[in-house]
Amino acid sequence: MNPAPPSFPTSRRPRHKTVAAWLAFLGGIFGWHRFYLHGWGDVWGWAHAIPTALGAWGLERVLTYGQDDKLSWVLLPFLGLSLVAASLSAILYALQPPQRWNARHNPQLAPDDPAGQTNGLTVLAIVLALMVGATAFMAGLAFSFQRYFEYQVEQGLLISQ
């Protein structure tokens, strides 16, 4: 009877926490961090492109048709959601303790291996992800609420005439 193959080949290169945090911050809206950690076959990595594409289409519609385009109201928050999710992933990766990181992503390495250690670049990724994520979240909320209330005012004016 053959034993089951290991879930991670022993020849696999270590996955560094800092690299994963930066990939999540810089390209998380495209799933780069998922591809780095789980390979090109990762379904969730490919799924990141859907809300990003919808949000980009909404942004293109705002630039083409102006802020009164109602479809862009629905689509544009997807871009903000993608940015927030990518920033949150960067923060969660960067804040994981080295033992947990190595146990999950580098099981062939010692728990205190440098691949899971935090350094200055990891902290910088956290700071930038917090700034970008919070800005995208607040901008998405402000845009959505502004459009919603403007729509309500328009409907109220139609009813009152």
* pLDDT for position 56: 95
- 56 token code pair: 């980009």
pLDDT at 8 over 80: no
The packing angle between helices 120-160 and 17-27, to 10°, is: 30
pLDDT at 73 over 50: yes
DSSP-derived secondary structure letter, 40: T
* pLDDT for position 86: 95
* pLDDT for position 68: 81
Each residue of 86-135: pLDDT tens digit?
999 999 999 999 999 999 999 998 988 999 999 999 999 999 999 999 99
- 140 token code pair: 């998405």
Please calculate the CA angle 93-95-99 and round it to the nearest 5 degrees.
85
* pLDDT for position 11: 54
At 2, the pLDDT band (50, 70, 90 cuts) reads: low
* pLDDT for position 4: 47
Across 7-11, 36-40, 69-73, least confident range: 7-11
User: Which residues are CB-neighbours of 80 under 8 A, at least 6 positions away?
Assistant: 55, 136, 137, 139, 140, 143
- Rounded CA-CA distance 62/139 in Å is 15
- Look at the block and give the residue holding tokens 């083409």: 64
| Mean pLDDT, the chain, integer | 89
- 122 token code pair: 């990891």
Please calculate the CA angle 46-57-129 and round it to the nearest 5 degrees.
60
Q: Tell me which of 7 and 18 has the higher pLDDT.
A: 18
* pLDDT for position 5: 45
